[in-house]
Structure 1
Amino acid sequence: MNRYLVMAMRLPQFDTDQIGPHREFLDALREQGRLELAGGFADKSGGAYVLRASDLEQARVLAFGDPLHLTGSSRIDVYEWLA
């Protein structure tokens, strides 16, 4: 499995009610062995997490299931990480 960096940047219409569902989403990924690391930025502009997936397409499918993306609260970008 490869590593993918997911950047979740808050949009002007960010909905704070999505923080709980987002954390539950991350907990589920962690239980599946797909999440290595996650955290928010100190300036509250968003956050990032590191996924384990077989390829970029699978990583995008996983990340685009994030409630922050599904509700339009944050812009989600996924990058293959060669760490």
Structure 2
Amino acid sequence: MKRFLVMLMRRPQIDPDAIPLHKQFLATLREQGRNEMSGAFADQSGGAYLLRAESLEEALDIAHSDPAHTSGGWDVTVYEWNSH
């Protein structure tokens, strides 16, 4: 599997009810061995997680199913990670 950095940047109109759903989403990914690490930025502008997926398309499908994205409260960008 490849690694992908998923960046989430908060929009002004976030839905606070999406936050626990997003955290559960990340916990489920961890249980599946797909979320290597995750965390919020210190300035609370957003956060990121390191996702394992077979392809960019799969990574985008997963990231776009994140409640942070589906709620419309965060802008989500996915980058393929070339780790050494």
The answer to whether the superposition gives a TM-score over 0.5 is: yes
Partner in structure 2 of residue 5 of structure 1: 5
The answer for unaligned runs of 5 or more in structure 1 is: none
- The share of aligned pairs that are identical, in percent, is 55
TM-score (norm 2): 0.96
Q: TM-score, normalised by structure 1?
A: 0.97
1:12 Cα shift? 1.1
| Cα distance in 1 for residues equivalent to 2:68 and 2:52 | 19
Distance across 1 between alignment mates of 2:19 and 2:71: 11
Q: Which residue of 2 aligns with 1:67?
A: 67
Which consecutive residues of structure 2, in runs of 5 or more, have no partner in the other structure? none
In structure 1, what is the Cα distance between the partners aligned to 2:79 and 2:58? 12
User: Which residue of structure 2 aligns with residue 42 of structure 1?
Assistant: 42
1:52, distance to aligned residue in structure 2 (A): 0.3
Tell me how many residue pairs correspond in the alignment: 83
